[in-house]
């Protein structure tokens, strides 16, 4: 197989085996059946299936977006064919328990596998991706009967799943949802309402669609404390697993987005009476867990989805980088500044320093983001399988603190990488003859997906670094300082980078205290996005120092590339945190005091 333009297997191997030492996980009971051989085999399989069955119709998936004729949704046939191949591999169940048909792979390895599909054709992969999150929620909070009835078919690829949170009038403000769930004597509920922006909400790619729907039971508490969660299948499922009546869930229309155009994005009506299951209107729903605890259950899926959004943003940035790198090596244009003889042959554009700047920036963003999302996967494995309760709790605390960054940093900076990939291509970059414009459009959705950039910022500053007496920020500071200590001991350039990172960590902790000491939540959170971006840059700088330590002593272009990207990030990117933290420390009120009438 020729060198891939989707992801770098060399980089994946370095991060998984040399840096994160994922083989060490096989000493734990859950992963005891695995080893380097099985990890390599599933990574090979993922690359092959993504390359041969998902990537070839990337452009067609975008060009021929889903259509709705009033009765049925139509997609190009290649999407369904690719999903059938994926289902046969069993990869979507890779991290689930063996008694559910899974392989009990570590989450970090499964995430590396899925990155191949996200890079190849992210909108086609969205259907099984959403289903995995849906199934994971039901495994954690559903009954054994619900798991048998819905999860097993999802993991087998027969059913796909969604999550239905937003409503037209509510958007991200979930306390304002109005969909109601009326209880019935048989223990079921009848749902009435509308849900907007539901990815994968209607199609004919699977036998059934399992909607997880947030709704209110009449008489419940106001606000988010009165939200419950329901399973609402497109077709009711009989006790023997066969499909029953069509449920009262209908497609009101498709939303047409700038990217992810192969994923149906829908407005769904529940209970409009077009279908009459049991002879009456109302979508039949089945309560998950306890009443009024639905939002906490849904966050099981949302937090996982946020990590996967970050992973998808990384993958889109990564493939754009590799394609622009390939182009830069092959495209002759111009001559070096010191060689202006017009008779001399043109040089590949990679010979121009500004093109190398753009490629090096992309490399630092996408390889830093890959390290970030794989580290999050490793934390999830630690949270579930670490030997002691203290280690598991520490991993949970770190992952909880990092989740807003894992979602938002790649969504911002790998989008920037896509922008630079277009620039490297020059005029060809914004034409549809090359993929980079498509990757940019796809990736532009990710700063909005699963909670906008601003929501993640308020979550990080308003909650994650403040809860438990600041324990999350303290734990993050500890692991970063441990890396600083290792770099200091290594000496030389690594020690200098460690000193730079240590000063940034100290400043973040100091500024965080100032922000939370302001005495006014509006002032504290007025510039939360600046805080998110500064802390995110510090975290990725830490991960670059980790990579540089892992690469120490390594010879050849790959290792020199790691050192060059680390150097770039510390010279060009980490210094950006200084002015940002100074602004935050000043408790600046510019945005807070701007009258909306002035805008």
Task: List residues with catalytic annotation.
Answer: 450
The alpha carbon of residue 188 and the mean position of all alpha carbons in its chain are separated, in whole angstroms, by 34
Dist. CA 322–CA 328, nearest whole Å: 10
For residues 179 and 193, what is the distance between their CA atoms, to the nearest angstrom? 4
- Sequence-distant (6+) residues with CB within 8 A of 107 are 95, 377, 378, 380, 381, 384
Q: Which residue has tokens 């085999």?
A: 41
For every residue of 224-272, DSSP letters joined together read GGGEEEEEEESEEE-TTS-EEEEPSEEEEEE---SS-TTS-EEEEEESS
**What is 396-427 written as a DSSP string?**
HHHHHHHHHHHHHHHHHHHHHHHHHHHHHHGG
The angle at the Cα of 358, spanning 566 to 60, to the nearest 5 degrees, equals 115
Instruction: Classify 211 as helix, strand or coil.
Output: strand
Q: Are 358 and 321 in contact (CB under 8 A)?
A: no
CA dihedral 570, 576, 579, 585 (to 10 degrees): -80
Strand partners, 287: 230
Cβ–Cβ under 8 Å, residues 587 and 514:
yes
SS3 (DSSP) at 10:
helix
3-state secondary structure of 139: helix
CA nearest neighbour of 195 among 233, 161, 163: 163
- Per the listing, tokens 């009990």 go with 104
Other Cβ atoms within 10 Å of 245 Cβ, number: 14
Helices (H) and strands (E) in the chain, counts: 19, 12
Give the whole-angstrom CA distance, residue 336 versus residue 5.
Answer: 27
Helix (H/G/I), strand (E/B), else coil: 170: coil
CB atoms within 10 A of CB 281: 15
Name the CA dihedral angle for 250, 252, 255, 260, rounded to a multiple of 10 degrees: 10
- Do 14 and 550 contact (CB within 8 A), yes or no? yes
DSSP letter at 428 equals: G
Structure tokens at 385: 């399988």
The terminus-to-terminus CA distance of the chain in angstroms comes to 55
Q: Which residue's structure tokens are 């100032």? A: 514
Residue by residue, what is the 3-state secondary structure of 270-321? ECCCCCCHHHCCCEEEEECCCCCCHHHHHHHHHHHHHHHHHHHHHHHHHHHH
Backbone torsions φ then ψ of 166, nearest 5 degrees: -70, 150
Q: What whole-number distance in Å separates Cα of residue 294 and Cα of residue 229?
A: 4
Q: How many Å apart are CA 442 and CA 456, to the nearest integer?
A: 20
Residue 216 to residue 228: CA distance in whole angstroms: 6
Alpha carbons 311 and 320: distance in angstroms, whole number:
14
């Amino acid at each position: 197989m020729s060198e891939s333009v989707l992801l770098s297997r060399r980089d994946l191997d370095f991060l998984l085996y040399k840096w994160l030492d994922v083989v060490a996980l096989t000493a734990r009971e859950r992963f005891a059946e695995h080893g380097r051989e099985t990890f390599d085999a599933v990574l090979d399989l993922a690359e092959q299936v993504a390359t041969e069955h998902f990537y070839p119709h990337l452009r067609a998936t975008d060009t021929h977006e889903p259509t709705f004729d009033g009765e049925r949704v139509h997609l190009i046939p290649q999407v369904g064919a690719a999903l059938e191949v994926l289902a046969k591999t069993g990869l979507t169940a890779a991290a689930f328990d063996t008694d559910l048909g899974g392989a009990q792979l570590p989450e970090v390895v499964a995430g590396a596998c899925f990155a191949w599909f996200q890079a190849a054709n992210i909108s086609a992969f969205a259907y099984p991706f959403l289903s995995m999150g849906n199934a994971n929620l039901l495994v954690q909070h559903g009954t054994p009967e619900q798991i048998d009835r819905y999860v097993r078919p999802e993991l087998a690829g027969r059913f796909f799943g969604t999550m239905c949170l937003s409503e037209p009038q509510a958007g991200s403000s979930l306390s304002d949802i109005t969909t109601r769930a009326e209880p019935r004597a048989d223990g079921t509920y009848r749902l009435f309402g509308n849900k907007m922006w539901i990815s994968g909400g209607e199609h004919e790619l699977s036998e059934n669609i399992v909607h997880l729907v947030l709704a209110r039971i009449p008489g419940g508490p106001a606000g988010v404390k009165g939200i419950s969660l329901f399973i609402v299948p497109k077709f009711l499922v009989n006790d023997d697993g066969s499909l029953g009546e069509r449920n009262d869930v209908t497609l009101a229309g498709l939303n047409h987005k700038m990217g992810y155009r192969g994923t149906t994005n829908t407005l769904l009506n529940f209970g409009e009476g077009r279908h009459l299951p049991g002879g009456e209107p109302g979508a039949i729903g089945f309560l998950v867990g306890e009443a009024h605890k639905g939002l906490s259950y849904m966050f099981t899926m949302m937090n996982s989805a946020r990590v996967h959004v970050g992973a998808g943003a990384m993958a889109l940035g990564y493939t754009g980088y590799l394609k622009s790198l390939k182009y830069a090596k092959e495209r002759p244009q111009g001559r070096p500044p010191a060689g202006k003889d017009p008779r001399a042959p043109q040089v590949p554009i990679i010979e121009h320093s500004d093109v190398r700047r753009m490629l090096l920036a992309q490399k630092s963003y996408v390889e830093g983001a890959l390290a970030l999302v794989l580290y999050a996967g490793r934390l999830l494995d630690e949270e579930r399988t670490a030997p002691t309760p203290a280690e598991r709790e520490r991993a949970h605390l770190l992952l909880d603190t990092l989740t807003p960054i894992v979602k938002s940093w790649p969504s911002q900076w790998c989008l920037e990488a896509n922008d630079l990939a277009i620039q490297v291509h020059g005029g060809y970059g914004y034409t549809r003859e090359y993929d980079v414009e498509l990757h940019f459009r796809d990736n532009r959705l990710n700063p909005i997906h699963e909670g906008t950039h601003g929501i993640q910022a308020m979550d990080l500053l308003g909650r994650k670094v403040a809860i438990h007496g600041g324990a999350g920020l303290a734990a993050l500071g500890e692991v970063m300082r441990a890396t600083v200590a290792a770099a200091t001991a290594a000496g030389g350039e690594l020690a200098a980078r460690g000193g730079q990172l240590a000063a940034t960590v100290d400043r973040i902790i100091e500024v965080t205290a100032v922000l939370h000491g302001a005495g006014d939540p509006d002032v504290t959170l007025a510039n939360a996005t600046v805080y998110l971006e500064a802390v995110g840059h510090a975290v990725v700088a830490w991960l670059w120092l980790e990579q540089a330590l892992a690469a120490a002593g390594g010879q050849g272009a790959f290792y020199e590339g790691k050192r060059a990207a680390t150097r770039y990030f510390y010279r060009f990117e980490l210094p950006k945190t200084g002015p940002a933290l100074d602004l935050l420390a000043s408790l600046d009120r510019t945005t807070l005091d701007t009258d909306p009438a002035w805008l």
